Structure 1
C-alpha cells in the first residue's frame, strides 16, 4: 500500500481497506503492510495492521527490499507465534518529499538512526514517513513508526517519540538537493551551461504527486527564450493528440496546448508545429526547437524509456523538462545537470502558497511559531 490514499466518500483508503480485510480474515491472523515513506498515516491503521514498514530511501531504491522485509516479518510472526504491534507518533510537520532526500543531511542521519532503533531489545522494525504534502487530509503529516514484538509496547512508544522529536527538531534544516529557482531563471542557467543534457523538473505540475500534467508554462517560456534543442515531457492534451493524428506524420498542426484541466495555474498556449512522431495515444509536436510530448492519458515521467517510447533520446537533447519532483535514479544517471523549477501548479513545492482546509493545525511549515512535544500515551 502507499499510505496516502484518499477516496471520495470514504476518506482514508488504506485504513478502510485494512478494516475490511480484518472483517474477512479475523483478528488472529497477522497482517503485515509495506508502505511508501510519503504516506499520511491515520493512527487508527494500527488497529487493523500488526506490522507497518516503509521505504527508507528517497528517491525510492529500496522498494523490493521493503516488500521483502514485510513478508519476512510476517513469516517470522507465523513461525514464532509472536504477534507484533505497531506504534505511531505524528510530529506536526508536512514537507514535500523533495526536501527530505535521504542521502543528504539532515534526513541521512535520521534514516541511519533507524538501524540503531531496530537493534533495540523488543523492537522489530522502525520507519519514518514524511507524509504526502499535496493531500489536504486530516492525517497529512509525518509519522514515526516503531514495531514491537508485542511484549514491549511501552519501549516501542518511547522510541517512536524519540524518532518523532528528532524529525521535529530538524524541521527547519531540510532543503532541496539541487539548484532551484523560477522557471525563467533556470532556463537561462540551462542555456548557458556547457553540460548536456540539463534536466529541469517542472515540480509544480508533478503528475507522480497527483498534478494534472497540463500546465504549459515551460512550453511558453522555452519558446519565448527561443531554445533550440529541448523536450517537454510532457503535456496531457487529448485534443492536441487527435489533431496531430489527423494531420499525419510530418503534417502541420495549429492548436492550443494545455491549460484545460488546471485553469488556475496555466492557460492554453497557441502553437504552430509539425507532428514528428505518432503512436497509439501519443504524439510529438515539434514547435521551433522544442519537442512537446503529448498524451491522451495522464502519465508519470520516471524513466528514460518513457521518452524513448516517443522516439526521443533524452541524452541527445540540451534541455529535458520533466513533470516530476526529484529526479528518479534512471534520470539522474544521465543528467549532467539537474535543476528544480519552483513552478506553479497543484504540487507547488512552496506549500505555504496552497490553500489547505482539512489538515490539523498548527502544522509546520504552514505555521511557524508553535512548540510541540509527543503526547503522553493513554
Structure 2
C-alpha cells in the first residue's frame, strides 16, 4: 500500500495597521498546537476526503483579531515555537508538503514582509524540496520574495469574505494534487506569473458585491479553467500599513509558462482598466451628516459604519470620537428619543463597575481612549445598566449602558460586532431599533441583510478611509489614489520559478536587527 502524503500546517495571521496606536501580543493569536490545528478545519479531519488522503500534522497556527503592529517579542516567541515544532515533526516523519495558513498583512516591529520572513525560517527546517501552499486573505500582500518561497499561493475571491473555508480547502487540495503528481514520477514544480499593480485601495472601495470588483473577481475562475493553469488570484492589498510590499498583486500559478503569463496579464489589465472606477460601497459623509440623514430617513433600522476605528481592519477599537459625538446630540438625551445602538467601546473599569452594580443600576463610568487617545479622550457617561454578558471569546465581558435613548455597548476587551446574535444576546433588538452604529467598514452579511439603509461615516482612527491624510511614507510611488497622474504601469508577467535562486540561499534586505 502506498504511503499517504505527509503535510504539516503552520502559520500566523493578523491584519495590522501601522497607523493604529495598539500593539498585538502573542496571546492575541490564540495559538493552536498539534491536534488542535487539525480540529479547527473540518476539511482535513478524519472522514473527509482530504483527511483520509493525507497524514496531517499540526505545528502551530495563530489567528489574531486585526489590530496594531505585532510586537517583535510576540513574533519571535511564536515563530520560535513553530520552528521547534517543525523540527520535532521532521524527526519522526518525512514531509511532502506544508500548508502555510496566513492572512498576509501582518506587520512586525523591526521586520518588513513578516510572512516571508516566517516562511524563510520554516524553509530552513523543512528544506527546499518540500512543497508549500499558502492560503491568504485578498487584503494580504504578496511580495516577490513571498511568492518565490511558495509553490502554490491563493487568496479569497469575495469581500465580505464568504469563501474562507473554500479558499483554504483549495490550497490544500491543490497541494495534494501537486504531491501526487510528484509521487507518480512527474518532476515538476509550478511556475508563478507575478504582476504588482500600483493600486492601493481600502476594502470599502473594493467589495466584490459591487462593481468594478464584481466583474474583476468574476474573471478569476474563468482564467483558472485555462489549460495549464492551477490557480489564479488577485490581491487588493492592505491599505492601512506603510511597507513597500503594500499594493495590489496578481498571481497565476500553473504548468505552462505561456498560459499563466497570458492569464496574469489578462487579470492585471482588467484590474488596471477599472482603477479609476472604484467607489465607496455606500453613500459616505461625516458622522454628523450620516446622523442627520438617518434621523430624516423613514427606513429602519438605518445602519451607520463608524469606519475609522474598525477593529476588523486593524483599528484599536477604543476611539471614543464617534460615541462622544453621538451622546452630544440633543435628539438622544431622552429615553423616548430615537432608539440607537452603538457598538462598541472598550472600558475595563466601566465593565467592572457595571458588573458590581448589576442590571438596572444607574452608574457613572468612564471608558475608551486607553490605547488610542489621539482623536478623543476618555468618555464619562451616566446611564442605566441594561445588560451584562460574560464569556465572549473576544470581549470577555460585555455590558450595555443606556444613556437617554442610546444603548452603548462597553466591553472588557475590544470586539467586532458582525452577527445579529452579538446584539440579541445583550437583550438588544437591532431590527426594531431606529439607528445602529457599528465600528465596521462594509457591512458583514448579516448586518447587510438587516439594514434597510446604511451609510459609511468617514471618521478618524487607525483605519481612516481617507488614506491620503494618514501619511504613508514607504509605499512605492507612484501609487493610485495617492498619485493621480503617472505613466502606464508595467503589466507584464514576472515568471517566478525554483531555478531563479536556491530557496535556502534566498536573502532579503528587509529584516533589521532587534
- Bin the TM-score by the shorter chain: over 0.9
Aligned pair 1:142/2:269, yes or no? no
Alignment of 1:8-157 (within 5 A): 8-81=109-182, 82-149=188-255, 152-157=256-261
Aligned to 1:346: 462
Aligned to 2:485: 369
* SS state at 2:341 partner: strand
Q: Deviations over 1:81-127 (max 9, x none)?
A: 24323332110110001101112221112111212211223111111
Measure how far apart 1:154 and its partner are: 4.5
Aligned pair 1:311/2:427, yes or no? yes
- Please report the RMSD computed on the Cα atoms of aligned residues, expressed in angstroms: 1.8
Asked if 1 retains the 8 angstrom alpha-carbon contact of 2:261 and 2:493, the reply is no
Asked if 2 retains the 8 angstrom alpha-carbon contact of 1:98 and 1:325, the reply is yes
Measure how far apart 1:38 and its partner are: 0.3
Aligned to 2:436: 320
Asked if 1 retains the 8 angstrom alpha-carbon contact of 2:194 and 2:494, the reply is no
Q: Deviations over 1:325-367 (max 9, x none)?
A: 0011111121111211111111111111111122222211111
Q: Deviations over 1:249-289 (max 9, x none)?
A: 22222233323322222223332112221233221111111
Aligned pair 1:269/2:372, yes or no? no
Mapped partners of 2:168, 2:493: distance in 1? 32
Mapped partners of 2:268, 2:348: distance in 1? 45
Task: State the structure with more CA Rg.
Answer: 2
Q: Deviations over 1:165-189 (max 9, x none)?
A: 3222211110122221111111111
- The answer for unaligned runs of 5 or more in structure 2 is 1-101, 183-187, 391-396, 496-514
Mapped partners of 1:279, 1:129: distance in 2? 38
Aligned length: 376
Aligned to 1:235: 345
* SS state at 1:332 partner: helix
Asked if 1 retains the 8 angstrom alpha-carbon contact of 2:193 and 2:494, the reply is no
Asked if 1 retains the 8 angstrom alpha-carbon contact of 2:226 and 2:259, the reply is no
The farther-off stretch of 368-377 and 178-187 is 368-377
Mapped partners of 1:64, 1:2: distance in 2? 13
Q: 1:311 to 1:106 in 2, by over 3 A?
A: same
Q: Deviations over 1:266-325 (max 9, x none)?
A: 223332112221233221111111111111112222211222332323223211111110
* SS state at 2:175 partner: helix
The farther-off stretch of 244-253 and 322-331 is 244-253
Asked if 1 retains the 8 angstrom alpha-carbon contact of 2:302 and 2:434, the reply is yes
* SS state at 2:247 partner: coil
Mapped partners of 2:492, 2:243: distance in 1? 21
TM-score, normalization by structure 2 = 0.70
Mapped partners of 2:471, 2:357: distance in 1? 41
Measure how far apart 1:27 and its partner are: 2.1
TM-score, normalization by structure 1 = 0.94
Mapped partners of 1:358, 1:204: distance in 2? 21
